Amino acid sequence: MGHGHHHHHVDPEAGDRRVAAAVGINVALTVAQIAGGLLSGSLAMIADAIHNLSDAVSLVIAYGARRIARRPADAEMTFGYGRAEVVAALINYTTLVVIGLYLVYEGVFRLIDPQPVAGWMVVIIAGVALVVDLGTAALTYALSKTSVNIRAAFLHNVADALGSLGVIAAGVLILLFGWIWVDPVVTLMIAGYILWMAVSELPGVIRILMLGAPPGVSVEAVLDAMRGVRGVEDVHNLHLWQMDEHRAGLLAHVTVTEGAWHEADAIKAAVKARLLDGFDIAHLTLEMECARHACASGVATVGAAATRSV
């Protein structure tokens, strides 16, 4: 998160229609792939179908989370419902990990005991699946740029498209050379990519849920910026966290230089302006204290850690 970010949002209702369309397409494709995988004997196609089913489920979760996240704050949820999308992303990425591990298990056993595969059927159905996967990804691409929730569903689809390419390659090699071992190898490759993708995205989601500071923002830099405002003697009890994917919150005690208490409101406004301009932090709660009665004079605490102020 940094200064000067501008987010181009897709109309919420139009976005919901895109997600709903993507759900319908993926459910139809999953049925076709499972039937084709069972008829052809291709584990790679069944693996791709299982992942595609998870796409449909992930899109349903993403759709529900989008609707919930737009609810206004109320007496029960005073911060609002925006984090519903972050929770949905956590569920979807965790599901990807489980699916990836299951495919590894199935792929290894199929390597040990290879089964015959009908190559032509695999290539045809996987070709149709690839077109549908790309179409679904196109429906959610614009939304994925501004939503960690939709990005999780979008990455499900990208993985599916790559999986379909792998299944097509396996079918062609089986037709040309009779290499039935390629089918479980492709399954393992699909599983490896799914696991890599999920594991690489999970830390950012967990960081938000754990109230971590925004990535790329130095707490020390924030403290220095606040202390640099004229009339500020010190800053302590500072907490900086991500409210959601795009917004940060800050809570701090600001000690006003002795003799400048009559300027406290102007000092507070100057601190807020500096944090907004320099770090794009707009959600602020500042407790102003006079130097003589500061609750922790001379100590700047960040979370549970205390460091002697300079």
pTM of the model: 0.69
- Per the model's pLDDT, the better-predicted residue between 80 and 227 turns out to be 227
Phi-psi region of 240 (alpha: psi -120 to 50; beta: other; left: phi over 0): beta
For residue 107, give the amino acid letter.
G
Fold match between domain 12-209 and domain 219-308: no
pLDDT greater than 70 at residue 15: no
Q: Which residues contact 60 (CB under 8 A, 6 or more apart)?
A: 23
- The least confident of 134-143, 179-188, 273-282 is 134-143
127 three-class SS: helix
- Residues counted in the chain: 310
- Per the model's pLDDT, the better-predicted residue between 300 and 306 turns out to be 300
Q: What is the pLDDT of residue 117?
A: 67
235 three-class SS: strand
pLDDT greater than 50 at residue 5: no
Q: What is the mean pLDDT of residues 75-96?
A: 84
- The least confident of 87-101, 148-162, 167-181 is 148-162
- Per the model's pLDDT, the better-predicted residue between 247 and 310 turns out to be 247
Domain 12-209, CATH homologous superfamily name and number: Cation efflux protein transmembrane domain (1.20.1510.10)
pLDDT greater than 90 at residue 286: yes
Query: Residue 130 in contact with residue 161, Cβ under 8 Å?
Result: yes
Task: For the chain, give the percent of residues with pLDDT over 90.
Answer: 18
Taking all residues of the chain, what is their mean pLDDT, rounded to a whole number? Answer: 79
| Nearest-angstrom CA–CA distance, 268 and 200 | 39
- The least confident of 10-24, 34-48, 68-82 is 10-24
pLDDT greater than 60 at residue 300: no
- The least confident of 58-72, 132-146, 202-216 is 132-146
Sequence spans of domains, the chain:
12-209, 219-308
CB count within 10 Å of CB 161 equals: 19
Closest to 192 measured CA to CA, from 77, 289, 283, 107: 107
- pLDDT tens, 28-38? 777 777 777 77
pLDDT greater than 90 at residue 224: yes
Q: Decide if domain 219-308 falls under CATH 3.40.1190.20.
A: no
- pLDDT tens, 36-73? 777 777 766 776 677 667 777 777 887 788 788 888 88
Closest to 253 measured CA to CA, from 218, 223, 211: 223
- pLDDT tens, 250-272? 999 999 998 888 999 999 999 99
